[in-house]
Amino acid sequence: MTTPILQTSPSGLTATWLPFGAHLISVRLPDGTDILAKHDLPETYQGAGPYLGSIIGRVANRIGGAAFTIDGQSYAIAHNDNGHALHSGPDGFDRQVWDVTQEGEELVFRHTSPAGDQGYPGNLDVTLRTRLSDNELQITFIAITDAPTPVNLSQHGYWNPTGLFDRRLDTLRLSSPADRYTEVGEDLIPTGMSPAVDGTPYDFRSPRRIGPDFIDVNLLVPGDGLREMAKLTDGMRSVTILSDYPGLQIYSGESLDAVAGMNARAALAMEPQYPPDAINQPVDGEDTILRPGEVYRHTIIYRFDGPGFEAAALNDATP
């Protein structure tokens, strides 16, 4: 379960995965720069840590009071964050061994979460379909259930386009079209308000440095369907995230100093998802409940740029 699985593209872009937690453990650009924060050894992912590159489920982010109600039925789920559930509890999808198959150009991960897992209702069948192209990594989440249950799947990668994780990311530039954010209290549980980003540290509508401030916020990106959520760049290399999710959680990585050889704030977590605690506090009508007969389907695309891609494009164009 700690044997890495490599995907490669004609441009020289590579992505490396583990069956354990469906962890994405490396994204290496054609110039050799690995821009994804990672542990030194594959087996280290089995220990506790800051969710480096893991798939989060059933529910990413926080559920207030580790409890919710669906159709008049109350459920108490496992808590692991001061009485709240964070990333589904202590034994979420990031702790499970996924089945992996190669289907054409796609690497496909599958996992079944049984009814009662962490206290959640219903059997949930989850599929991740991953595809690597010349300059993009695409992940599609698909899930079905036999009983109503909250679902909010995400990928928890920490990114730094410099590939240097022994220093802080404060000088990197971030842009995002998000015009609102999910306001939270001291416990990081939403207050029920979604104010405008104007005049706040969360206004990245024009590219700017991340700066030294602590950030752990869910940005709400206007529009529907697949669209740009954010772009992180060092001026030479960049990762742009596109998704059809309504929000993007960004976290400035203060906990990364727990990883060997890595600084606090060495990389930025960028997680497309529904807002935190949406099962209890729906935002714009989104409550994250998946019902029998429905299909949960969302896509994340990571688009990369930097040295080496231009050469690959020229080689492809050569008769």
Active site (annotated) includes residue 156:
yes
Predicted TM-score (pTM) of this structure = 0.95
Q: Catalytic residue, from 156, 228, 286, 298: name it.
A: 156
Does 318 have pLDDT greater than 60?
no
Residue with tokens 């990369």: 304
Task: Look at residue 24 in the predicted model and tell me its pLDDT.
Answer: 98
Instruction: Locate the domains of the chain by residue range.
Output: 5-317
Half-sphere exposure (CA, 13 Å, Cβ side) for 204? 28
**104 pLDDT higher than 70:** yes
CA-angle at 67, arms to 273 and 183, nearest 5°: 45
Quick one: average pLDDT of 266-276? 97
Q: Which of 11-25, 38-52, 58-72, 105-119 has the lowest mean pLDDT?
A: 38-52
Beta bridge partners of 108: 101, 129
Instruction: Kindly give the residue spans of alpha helices, DSSP state H, lying in 183-308.
Output: none
- How is residue 102 written in tokens? 């190669």
Indicate if the pLDDT at residue 126 is higher than 50. Answer: yes
Band the pLDDT of 286: cuts 50, 70, 90.
Answer: confident
pLDDT at 163: 96
Q: Does 1.10.3720.10 match the CATH number of domain 5-317?
A: no
Q: How far is CA 130 from CA 13, 102, 112, 135, 316, in A?
A: 14, 10, 18, 14, 23
| SS3 label, residue 256 | helix
Q: Which of 23, 39, 111, 271 is catalytic?
A: 271
pLDDT of 312 strictly over 80: no
The CA distance from 270 to 210, in Å, is: 13
Catalytic site includes residue 271: yes
Helix H or strand E segment including 301 = strand 296-305
Structure tokens at 55: 């798939």
Cα 301 to chain center, whole Å? Answer: 11
Give pLDDT tens digits for 5-56: 999 999 999 999 999 999 999 999 999 999 999 998 999 999 877 999 999 9
Confidence at residue 49, expressed as pLDDT on a 0 to 100 scale: 78
Q: Is the CB of residue 115 less than 8 Å from the CB of residue 147?
A: yes
pLDDT for the residue 1: 64
* DSSP 3-state of 211: coil
Residue type, 219: L
Q: Which of 47, 80, 46, 49 is nearest to 63 (CA)?
A: 80
311 pLDDT tier (thresholds 50, 70, 90): low
The C-alpha atoms of residue 290 and residue 49 are separated, in whole angstroms, by 29
How far is it, in rounded angstroms, from Cα 219 to Cα 196? 10
Mean pLDDT along residues 66-80? 97
Residue-level pLDDT at 317: 41
- Respond yes or no on whether the N-terminal peptide bond of residue 58 is cis (omega within 30° of 0): yes
The pLDDT tens digits of the residues spanning 166-215 come to 999 999 999 999 999 999 999 999 999 999 999 999 999 999 999 999 99
Whether the pLDDT of residue 315 is over 60: the answer is no
Please state, rounded to an integer, the average pLDDT across all residues of the chain: 94
Q: What are 22-25's contacts with CB under 8 Å, separation 24+?
A: 22/54, 22/55, 22/93, 22/94, 22/98, 22/109, 22/111, 22/128, 23/52, 23/53, 23/54, 23/55, 23/94, 24/53, 24/54, 24/155, 24/157, 25/52, 25/53
